[in-house]
Amino acid sequence: MYKDILEIIEKSGKSDFEEITKELEDCINTDENFIETLRQIGAIPEFIVHDSTEEKLFSKASDAVLSRAFREIGLKSVVLKERGDSADVLVESPIHGYTLVADAKAFRMSRTAKNQKDFKVVALSCWKKDADYAVLCSPYFQYPSKVSQIYAQAISHNVCLFSWEHLIFLIDNNIKETADFSFSPLWNFSNLYSRKVLSSDMKQCFINAFNSEMLGLTGLSNEIFQTQLEKQIKIIKQRGTAEKSFWEMEISKINSYTKEEAILELIKSKKIYEKIAQIDTYIQGIKYNG
């Protein structure tokens, strides 16, 4: 369950990173309520500190969730262990033989304006290497709703802009690959769409066109998809209330600080002692080699 994932992350402390990652993967792979975890994984909890070990563990959890989601729709999938410049997940169709790399994306609800670098569309294309397709999986409602460079990039580099909500829809309706049914038109959507769109319109949002392709491929109605999105909106709003409560409690805690506690917290938040230590390290390491 999603709460179990958060508990593992919260209790990780100074434990071995690889061991905690393995524990998270085991938790996700045995999750009997996986669809609910899938509904939550696109939003990074506000209590997780930015650029912390806990945030890296949450990212690893999202990779594992994405990998399992692909398995739920009939594909073979593994989380890649490489760090740095590589995709998160490698997927193979056991029936149709194609391969794809996928990148899992999650955002904080408090995150302000996102730009094209946040989605790493071009980078994902480079990470494809010998795979047939590249798929970005992001929260559905975090994709720009009108105009964005990421749509032009996806078209130019044939990257599929997918979402957690699309996966929920497919899994909820038990859609899986068969000998007569392949998901490849979805993964290849940007390439197919590039033949229809004008150059002047390449930055326009094409998510609705992608949805139409998915519905035509699966034979399911738009009403079913819209109902699923409406359910997800309710869950997101509930989650938003919980995340706001975290920050409201933080405000109450700060208001209770003494002057001395407030000063210490400010120094800590600015990482002033760490900056001084780094300057010392830099100065001490300078040597003249002439």
What does the alpha-carbon distance between residue 106 and residue 84 come to, in Å, rounded to a whole number? 17
CATH number of the domain within which 141 lies = 3.40.91.70
Asked whether residue 245 is assigned to any structural domain, the reply reads: no
Q: Which domain holds residue 82?
A: 2-220
Asked whether residue 39 is assigned to any structural domain, the reply reads: yes
Residue owning tokens 């995709």: 87
DSSP character at residue 270: T
Chain segment 242-265, per-residue pLDDT in tens? 999 999 999 999 999 999 999 999
Q: How many domains does the chain have?
A: 1
Asked whether residue 229 is assigned to any structural domain, the reply reads: no
* 156: pLDDT strictly greater than 80: yes
Q: Could you tell me the pLDDT band of residue 100, with boundaries at 50, 70 and 90? A: very high
Asked whether residue 225 is assigned to any structural domain, the reply reads: no
Chain segment 184-241, per-residue pLDDT in tens? 999 999 999 999 999 999 999 999 999 999 999 999 999 999 999 999 999 999 999 9
What does the alpha-carbon distance between residue 115 and residue 175 come to, in Å, rounded to a whole number? 33
pLDDT given for residue 84 in this prediction: 64
Q: Could you tell me the pLDDT band of residue 287, with boundaries at 50, 70 and 90? A: confident
Chain segment 34-77, per-residue pLDDT in tens? 999 999 999 999 999 888 999 999 999 999 999 999 999 999 99
* 290: pLDDT strictly greater than 70: no
- pTM of the full predicted structure? 0.90
* 113: pLDDT strictly greater than 70: no
Mean pLDDT value across residues 158-180: 97
Average pLDDT, the chain: 93
Distance separating the N- and C-terminal Cα atoms of the chain? 61
Asked whether residue 117 is assigned to any structural domain, the reply reads: yes
Asked whether residue 17 is assigned to any structural domain, the reply reads: yes
Question: In Å, what is the CA distance from 269 to each residue of 112, 123, 239?
Answer: 20, 32, 26
Which one, of 86, 148, 140, lies nearest residue 115 by Cα? 148
* 288: pLDDT strictly greater than 80: no
SS (H, E, C) 51-102: CCHHHHHHHHHHHHHHHHHHHHCCCEEEECCCCCCCCCEEEECCCCCCEEEE
Asked whether residue 272 is assigned to any structural domain, the reply reads: no
Helix (H) or strand (E) holding 135: strand 133-138
Asked whether residue 247 is assigned to any structural domain, the reply reads: no
